[in-house]
Amino acid sequence: MLLMIIAVAAFASTLAGGLLALKLRDKLHLILGFSAGAVIGVAFFDLLPEAIGIGMRYHTPATILAWTALGFLSYLALDRLISFHGDAAQRGGFTASVLCVHSVLDGVAIGLAFQTSKVVGIVVAIAVLAHDFSDGINTMNVVLKNRGTRAGAFRWLLLDAAAPVLGIAATSFFRLPGDGFGVALALFGGFFLYIGASDLIPESYHAHPKFLTTAMTIIGAGVLYLAIKLIG
């Protein structure tokens, strides 16, 4: 029952963030700036510390960071490939799909944490819910800024909102080895660093090179940092 409540909360939080991004599209540069900071904040303050904390039981820190580098560079290569052979809408769809896969992993993290203990599960669930709202904003933004339609962006938002629910449900059928989970977190940390630093930040600042846009990026990272610290 508790897992079902958490799944519904994750869906609602992601959906609310995306709808806010859609409503404030005329302020998209500010939302993109905030999203960039949030994405980078998730990588630095959530994914990578968790990857190192979990992965060091099985790997050296250098190995974990090598997986982060692999995530960054492989995303760069795929992004360039799509840029050469696909249109902007396809690029937006690719980025949104990565965000959706990350959201599935969020759900998996919740489910596996509850397999460990109820207390650990609740702590991980709070951490996921803390950035699900920004996940919704990020998903909507990457589609809209790459010339996607409102209807298309909303479909991706629904997929991203449903992704944690699918991840939670999937853990009823398997148990991921501890060494694999740390590596997966490191890989997605690299993905998020690329999306934030090489995609969202340049896009937000290009059309509106103002201090406020930069400030929103810093605020986005700060909000994620505080949220993660407050939940322990």
Q: What is the pLDDT of residues 102-146, one digit of tens each?
A: 789 888 888 887 886 787 678 778 767 766 777 788 788 788 877
- pTM score: 0.73
pLDDT tens digits along 138-172:
788 788 877 778 888 889 999 999 999 999 999 88
pLDDT tens digits along 14-37:
998 888 877 776 677 787 788 888
DSSP E strand boundaries for 58-209: none
Whether residue 11 contacts residue 165, with contact meaning beta carbons closer than 8 Å, is answered with: yes
H or E segment at 191? helix 178-194
Whether residue 134 contacts residue 195, with contact meaning beta carbons closer than 8 Å, is answered with: no
How many Cβ atoms from other residues are within 10 Å of residue 44's Cβ? Answer: 18
H or E segment at 24? none
How many Cβ atoms from other residues are within 10 Å of residue 146's Cβ? Answer: 20
pLDDT at 224 over 90: no
